[in-house]
Amino acid sequence: MKNLKTLIGAAALLVSTLGTSLSANAAMITQEGRINGESIFNLSANLDEDALDSAIENDPFFDPTEADNFFNPEIITLTSLKLFGESVDLGNVFQFDVVFNALDLSRGFDLLTLDFYSEALMTGLSFEFDRAFSGSNLATFYFPNDPDSNFTVFGDDVEFSVVPEPSAFAVFALAMGLMMVRRQRS
């Protein structure tokens, strides 16, 4: 029984240190674009916390509540994109501009302009999202092989929101709880 407790304690310590070290310099943001409630695309982006800290310290005009990747491209980078579940080659992303509150990542992006082409689906998507003015949101599907089939969806039918991620803090809390139980019983 003592060996099992030691093993659980060691595993808990390993999991807690891995979870904290992996998130020390980057935070993953995963968001989903929907039209009429149906998922159209998913994207993931990394927030480089070191670059964010540098911008806060060195740029007197930088506002972390309105961080962007236009003036500060190193702060956030697109890491993956899927259209209707099919991965999109990031070389086919022509525009990825965002504005977001770096102090509250749970809100996701406040503004997004995204333009890309999926070779697998032979379809492009131009997506514009503004949290403050949802009536100006739009998604345009374009088909280079059949331009007459292009269509645009406007307004409140176009949504963009954060995809819930499993909480690393829950794993960390569990590990810490197991370690405390182990110490109390020793």
21 falls in which pLDDT band (50, 70, 90)? very low
Distances (CA, A) of 159 to 21, 38, 65, 107, 116: 33, 9, 21, 13, 18
How much is the average pLDDT of 155-163? 79
CB 118 within 8 Å of CB 124: yes
pLDDT score at 150: 92
How is residue 104 written in tokens?
């509250």
Lowest mean pLDDT: which of 10-14, 32-36, 94-98? 10-14
Is it the case that residue 16 has pLDDT exceeding 60? no
The domain limits of the chain are 26-165
Share of the chain above pLDDT 90, in %: 52
Is it the case that residue 23 has pLDDT exceeding 50? no
Distances (CA, A) of 42 to 10, 17, 81, 127, 163: 36, 29, 6, 12, 9
pLDDT per residue as tens digits for the range 49-108: 999 999 999 999 999 999 999 889 999 999 999 999 999 999 999 999 999 999 888 888
Is it the case that residue 170 has pLDDT exceeding 90? no
> Residue 132 and residue 119: Cα distance in Å, rounded?
33
How much is the average pLDDT of 138-154? 92
135 falls in which pLDDT band (50, 70, 90)? confident
> Residue 37 and residue 138: Cα distance in Å, rounded?
14
